[in-house]
Amino acid sequence: MAIEVKNIVKTFGSFAALDDVDLKVADGELLALLGPSGSGKTTLLRIIAGLDWPDSGEVAIDGENALTRGASERQVGFVFQHYALFRHMTVFENVAFGLRVQPRAVRKDEATIRARVKELLDLVQLDWLANRYPSQLSGGQRQRIALARALAIEPRILLLDEPFGALDAKVRKELRQWLRSLHNEIHVTSIFVTHDQEEALEVANRVVVMDKGKIEQIGSPGEVYDNPATAFVHGFIGESIVLPVDVAGDAVRLDGRPLNIPALGAASGAAKLFVRRHDMAIGPAGSGALDGAIRHVRSFGPIQRAEVALAGDAGKTVIEIDAPRDRELQAGEIVSLQPRRYRIFAAQD
């Protein structure tokens, strides 16, 4: 089912948790909503689910106004960060629950319910845990059961609010891949909320980046990483070196010294230069835009990460750059840095 959200505003007192949000989710898509804590992700998800209502704006599911319908009528499956499994019920009964409490008119017979639960447990690859209780499962297993339970009622939409947020890093990574392949199998329209940029880029085909109740950018993982639309997106996705600069026409200056890089159309005035760590080329002193001294080098895997104190402001500005390991860098070395790819955003952005 396609979802369309238009001009949604939601305030709590005088605070705007959602400030004119527009979003289209295509049928069968797995979309990530990514933003820092407090950016409005859960509020938006609750409004789509029918657990909360906006002050103004529209929500349509499959072209129909959803705001006149309550949560149960919208046929939405929900998975939260904190597993909400019933502790006194087995895994099997937890998954069966939604089917057993359906109105009598649509309720399936016992044999059909049992077959459906078996199918769902197979789908999440945990059929062997059917008779266990939630306390006998790992965190990752509980979340997979929570998902099976959400899918039991054959939801038209699946909403996942930081479902892996409470799990440790290794399990989270496994579950990302698991969720992707599960979605490839069932293709239910899904919105996956996370504050973890790596998780969003790995799980979804499209990423919606939110900050302070507004959508900053919508794009593929490649687009939001390589072509961030705003300073916020550049800083939030992937780690960035950020330097305060001054733009005058096509000239860019740092601390009054020319950087010899074009302004790429940035407006004149105070601005910020954003460079990914691996997009800062490092060469012999005098060769690039920024001179500095290496303070510290750590090498791991294919890269060396160097802390470089920039010349010109008494070494107060220290940046970290990632270089390939073709030549070992040394602490104390005087080097020159040249941004290969960069973006310049006006300072107030």
Nearer to ligand ADP among residue 35 and residue 292 (C-beta): 35
Partner from Mg ion, ligand ADP, none binding residue 98, C-beta < 5-8 Å depending on class: none
Q: Could you tell me how many residues make up the chain? A: 349
Class of residue 258 by CB neighbours under 10 A (exposed 0-12, middle 13-18, buried 19+): exposed
Question: What tokens appear for 75 in the block?
Answer: 């046929």
Closest approach, Cβ 164 to Mg ion, in A, equals 13
Tokens linked to 103: 């109105």
Min CB(23)–ligand ADP separation in Å: 14
From the list 146, 132, 56, the residue with the least C-alpha distance to 89 is: 132
CB of 144 to ligand ADP, least distance (A): 22
Q: For residues 189 and 75, what is the distance between their CA atoms, to the nearest angstrom? A: 12
In this complex, which beta carbon is closest to ligand ADP, that of residue 17 or of residue 266? 17
40 binds, among ligand ADP, Mg ion, none (CB under 5 to 8 A by kind): ligand ADP
Element (H, E) at 139: helix 139-152
Q: Least distance in Å: CB of 71 to ligand ADP?
A: 16
Name the segment binding Mg ion (CB under 5 A); options: 25-33, 38-46, 103-111, 135-143.
38-46
The CB-of-165 to ligand ADP minimum distance in angstroms stands at 10
CA separation for the pair 258, 212 (Å, rounded): 35
Stretch that binds Mg ion, among 37-45, 122-130, 205-213, 299-307 (CB under 5 A): 37-45
Selected from 39, 42, 190, 317, the binder of Mg ion by CB under 5 A is 42
CA distances from 149 to 53, 136, 153, 175, 329 (A): 25, 17, 8, 16, 53
The two tokens of residue 134 are 């939630």
Give the separation between CA 214 and CA 18, rounded to whole angstroms.
6
The interface mask with ligand ADP, positions 31-50, x = CB under 6 A, is ----x-xxxxxxx-------
Q: Min. distance of Cβ 158 from Mg ion in angstroms?
A: 17
Identify which of residues 199 and 279 has a Cβ nearer to ligand ADP in the complex: 199
Q: Quick one: 80 or 342, whose CB is closer to ligand ADP?
A: 80
Closest CA to 162 of 55, 75, 36: 36
- Give, as one character, the DSSP assignment of residue 275: E
Residues near ligand ADP (CB under 6 A): 12, 17, 35, 37-43
* Contact residues for Mg ion, defined by CB under 5 A: 42
